[in-house]
A and B are shown apart, each in its own frame.
Chain A
Amino acid sequence: MTSLILTRNILQRILGDVRTLALIVVLPLFFILLYGSSFSGSYSDLPVFVVNEDNGLASVPTAELGRITLAVNLGAAFVEALDRDVLNVSLLDDPEAAQALVGGRAWAAVILPKSFSNAVVNEAVRAGGERRIDFEGDRLTLIPSEAADGPTATLIIDDSNPLLAQKLYQTLNAAFARVLESQQSSLTVGALLDVRRLYDGRIRMLDFTAPGIIGFAMTLITVMLTALSIVRERTGGTLTRILIAPVSAWQITLGYTLAFSAIAVFQTAELFLASTFLFGIQLAGNPGVVALIIVLFAIGLQGIGTLISTLSRNEAQAMQFVLFLVIPSIMLSGVFWPQETMPTAIRSLSYVIPLTYANSALRKVMLTGSGFAELASELSALAAIALVAVSLSVISMRRQGHTA
């Protein structure tokens, strides 16, 4: 009975607080809606370059007429067979240029040489043995050639994202398989392709997710610590004392920024050391670049923590607001599943989430060794978020009762 009295008291207090009640009702829905709409599981818009130099002709020995030339146009057939729902295909002329763009503007490049059709048909005949075809009114037998038929296709793939690389490989493989089917070949695609992985497959799933997990841990800890500390200062009255002292809102904000950013940087250093020494997570790039990303990210996060503290009457509310930030961060920032799998509307939401940029920047520097130049867009975004968050913190600090 006493327990029920306690239960009733708790529920009455929650029901009486409209903001907490709203958070309780909305948060689970928010969570599941976000999950359902962000994790579609289907990829789209993966940029891929194709250089189709294929002349479309195959020179094949026959039992009856010696070598004949078939117009099969398999390069065009391959391009036609590419799944446009998944891939965003751009055709280029220069194989070297296409190759250079992989890892930057494209996830993969496929180079079909002049002899592509020739090589495929001859490989198919070699693998499947003699085959009879109709050719200009005659019934001919194609026989395996012994001579090399020139290079087959080259696939250059950015394997810094193992999930995406796997999906790309499957999709491109399917297009090649369609081409082979057209030649009634039992040949496997693997035999046809010269696959070059940018990182030689040395990036494990653990390495791939580590930067995002580090960023996520930072988001959770920094925002929560900042928001709860400031709410506690306000409810305890010490913030009022600080606000009434001859200290400007900028000075107060800077004080908080330095303290909480320093804690965040320390915690991240701890995370990095543990992940490197305990789990062998790789750091291919410059630790100085990592430090800059972390500092900018931490400043933005503590600014967001300050804003959350303004919106919260008490620590319980602050915790729920933190969840409103943390849940989209983990779901939409590309930590676990690539943004390429998200519907466009949801994907655009991810562009306002700091972890999106921190994750992308940390991945680039940790996995591929990128420097400042390659990280310009992520660093600019993190700096902009930090600036906006700190400026809003100053305004919110004034709103908390400052008279500056």
Chain B
Amino acid sequence: MTSAEQVVHAQGLRKRFGQHTALDGLSLMIKQGQLFGLAGPNGAGKTTLIRTLCGLLRPDEGEAYLLGWRMPSARVRSQLGYMPQESAVYDDLSVLRNLEFFASLYGLRRHQIRARAEELLDLVDLRDRTRQRVGTLSGGMRRRVSLAISLLHRPRLAFLDEPTAGVDPKLRRTFWDYFNRLADSDVTLLVTTHLVEEALRCHLVGFLMAGRLLTQGTPDEILAQTATTNLDDAFIALQERGEAKS
């Protein structure tokens, strides 16, 4: 076991799919209450990293600890929140029934579910759609339902895979404010994004490419390291360096 303060601790993770190396000896450490932004181009390995950390995939090499437990472990599941990249909602159920079903898997009681559902539906701006079938919602709205489901049981550690994809700018800002508030209350979050500027809202940022973490640090550290003025330029510079190395 590692120190409880180190909520995520991965060492030398390697994962291959046939000839393709999705994770290439990746190491990562995230402390309690940190909001960690994981950026990188498509196919960089962001989703594979999250699925491996959660125990949904077994690494070929290396090991990962979540909340002090070596993964895969059943003990941490009640404290994990996971928003997959696909919507992962039941289209034939209403928004509320979706929330109720997944919350009940975490042992929440009916009145707790109602209270939490109201709070999260306010956050994702779907309070007026509670009774609507999810299948009739737009893609962006379904992603918002998915986010609400992932946070309903008050996880101590949340993995959010592109939670702002397809979400309008105003709501995106609301989401990031909420993620920061969660982090302030000691919830640890790992959030992937392909909108690099969003990473400015994170305490720590990691840039993933070809299964390797090219760099990680605070946004200011990364700007200084790359001698750039914005994260977009910083990541382009890092990407070019990465490509040059490989």
B-contacting residues of A (Cβ < 8 Å)? 236-238, 240-248, 401, 403-404
Contacts and interface: CB of A to CB of B under 8 A. Distances in A.
B74 interface: yes
Contacts of B71: 403
B102 interface: yes
A240 B105 contact: no
Contact of A248 (B57, B74, B149): B74
Contacts of A236: 86-91
B189 to A, nearest CB: 16
Contacts of B106: 245-246
A68 B82 CA distance: 100
12 contacts: A236-B86, A236-B89, A237-B84, A237-B89, A238-B89, A240-B84, A241-B149, A243-B56, A244-B82, A245-B102, A401-B51, A403-B56
Given A401-B56, A403-B55, A244 B88 contact: no
Interface residues of B, number: 25
A245 B55 CA distance: 11
Given A244-B77, A401-B57, 14 more contacts: A236-B86, A236-B87, A236-B88, A236-B91, A244-B80, A245-B77, A245-B105, A245-B106, A246-B74, A246-B77, A246-B78, A246-B107, A403-B73, A403-B77
A237 B47 CA distance: 13
A241 B82 contact: yes
A240 B55 CA distance: 11
Interface in B101-119: 102, 105-107
Nearest to B75: A246
A240 B77 contact: no
Interface of B: 51, 54-57, 71-74, 77-78, 80, 82, 84, 86-91, 102, 105-107, 149
B102 A240 contact: no
A246 B56 contact: no
A403 B51 CA distance: 11
Contact of A404 (B74, B84, B105, B149): B74
A241 B77 contact: no
B105 A246 contact: yes
B115 to A, nearest CB: 20
A240 B74 contact: no
B74 A244 contact: no
Nearest to A400: B56
Contacts of A401: 51, 56-57
A241 B54 contact: no
A237 B102 contact: no
Contacts of A242: 105
A403 B56 CA distance: 7
Nearest to A241: B88
